[in-house]
């Protein structure tokens, strides 16, 4: 006894699956396609709803199919960019751009903007070296052992990333301070200049301290933010055994061991490079 094969999906559903399937990440595309194919087939061949209700359900499922495909794509971008140096610099650049647009709107045009920013920018060039010197001198930093820092190319990449991050932080502090004090220039120009310098210095100090802290929490190779902090050792045995935190790179490049207290035998953090043959740490 032969069984009749079920009829295929309607042409619209097949075209929709084919088009939206390109938006799904390649690693999840086959499973996504089969899941939604079975769901649509069930709607068309196993439901006993009237034609009008079946049409409404099909429309709802089509919308859900589209949203599911887009969510999988955006989630793959989130996993790929989460904690990366590109995301950090892009976010700082976007904030600088928004601050610049706000300055343009407050001044009413490019010509007025250039005139009003001339004096504050000269003061900014004078105060920036002083702020950088104070931050470098007072920032609490844990040095990583030179023997564990890796290749010279990785070191150069880390320094370039820190320089770009610090530059964007300083530019952002300047733009934010001018935006805040712009309404005061018409009535109290001298007071506005003093407040602008004070705000710029404060934001610069906080921003550069954050840049130092963020730099110490990143992988030495891929510059991603380290994750899964784990407490190792006992605080009561600081003088007898190692005690501190360990952070792991999600890409499996290594692990950063940070001592809780600086002692005569453990004064710096240590970067431990992971063997290339190990599997990557699971994404969280």
pLDDT in tens, 162-173: 999 999 999 999
Tell me what pLDDT residue 151 has. 74
Looking at 81, 109, 133, the residue that finishes a domain is: 81
Which tens digit of pLDDT belongs to each residue from 253-268?
A: 888 877 776 655 555 6
User: What domain count does the chain have?
Assistant: 3
For residues 108 and 121, state if they share a domain: yes
For residues 46 and 102, state if they share a domain: no
Phi, psi (deg, nearest 5) at residue 7: -70, 155
The rounded distance, in Å, linking the Cα atoms of 187 and 46 is: 75
For residues 107 and 148, state if they share a domain: yes
> Residue 191: is its pLDDT beyond 50?
yes
Looking at 81, 103, 131, the residue that finishes a domain is: 81
Position 176 confidence tier, pLDDT thresholds 50, 70, 90:
very high
Name the 3-class secondary structure at 204.
Answer: helix
Q: Pick from 74, 78, 76: which is nearest to 27 by CA?
A: 76
The rounded distance, in Å, linking the Cα atoms of 261 and 45 is: 68
- For 18, the domain range is 11-81
What percent of the chain shows pLDDT beyond 90?
A: 21
For residues 110 and 136, state if they share a domain: yes
Using an 8 Å Cβ cutoff, are 84 and 224 in contact? yes
In the structure encoding, which two tokens stand for residue 58, read together? 């099909």
For residues 191 and 236, state if they share a domain: no
Name the 3-class secondary structure at 233.
Answer: coil
For residues 59 and 132, state if they share a domain: no
For residues 66 and 105, state if they share a domain: no
- Residue 6 inside a domain? The answer is no
Which tens digit of pLDDT belongs to each residue from 266-277?
A: 556 777 777 655
- Residue 263 inside a domain? The answer is yes
Which tens digit of pLDDT belongs to each residue from 203-241?
A: 999 999 999 989 888 988 889 998 888 877 776 666 666
Using an 8 Å Cβ cutoff, are 92 and 214 in contact? no
52: left (phi over 0), alpha (psi -120 to 50) or beta: alpha
Looking at 43, 66, 81, the residue that finishes a domain is: 81
- Residue 5 inside a domain? The answer is no
């Amino acid at each position: 006894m032969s069984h009749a094969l079920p009829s295929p999906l309607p042409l619209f559903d097949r075209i929709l699956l084919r088009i939206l399937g390109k938006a799904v990440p390649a690693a999840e595309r086959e499973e996504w396609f089969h899941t939604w194919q079975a769901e649509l087939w069930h709607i068309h061949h196993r439901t006993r709803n009237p034609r009008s209700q079946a049409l409404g359900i099909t429309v709802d499922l089509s919308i859900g199919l589209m949203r599911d495909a887009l969510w999988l794509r955006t989630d793959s971008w989130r996993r790929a960019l989460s904690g990366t140096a590109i995301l950090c610099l892009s976010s700082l650049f976007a904030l600088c751009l928004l601050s610049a647009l706000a300055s343009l709107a407050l001044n009413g045009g490019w010509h007025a903007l250039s005139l009003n920013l001339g004096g504050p920018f000269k003061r900014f060039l004078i105060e920036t070296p002083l702020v950088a010197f104070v931050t470098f001198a007072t920032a609490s930093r844990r040095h990583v052992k030179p023997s564990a820092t890796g290749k010279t190319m990785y070191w150069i990449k880390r320094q370039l990333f820190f320089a770009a991050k610090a530059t964007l932080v300083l530019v952002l502090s300047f733009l934010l301070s001018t935006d805040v004090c712009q309404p005061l220039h018409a009535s109290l120009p001298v007071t506005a200049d003093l407040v602008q310098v004070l705000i710029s210095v404060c934001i610069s100090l906080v921003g550069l301290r954050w840049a130092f802290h963020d730099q110490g929490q990143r992988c030495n190779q891929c510059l991603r933010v380290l994750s899964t902090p784990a407490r190792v050792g006992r605080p009561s045995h600081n003088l007898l055994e190692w005690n501190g935190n360990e952070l792991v790179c999600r890409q499996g490049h290594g692990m950063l061991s940070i001592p809780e207290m600086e002692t005569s035998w453990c004064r710096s953090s240590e970067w431990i490079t992971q063997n290339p043959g190990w599997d990557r740490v699971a994404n969280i």
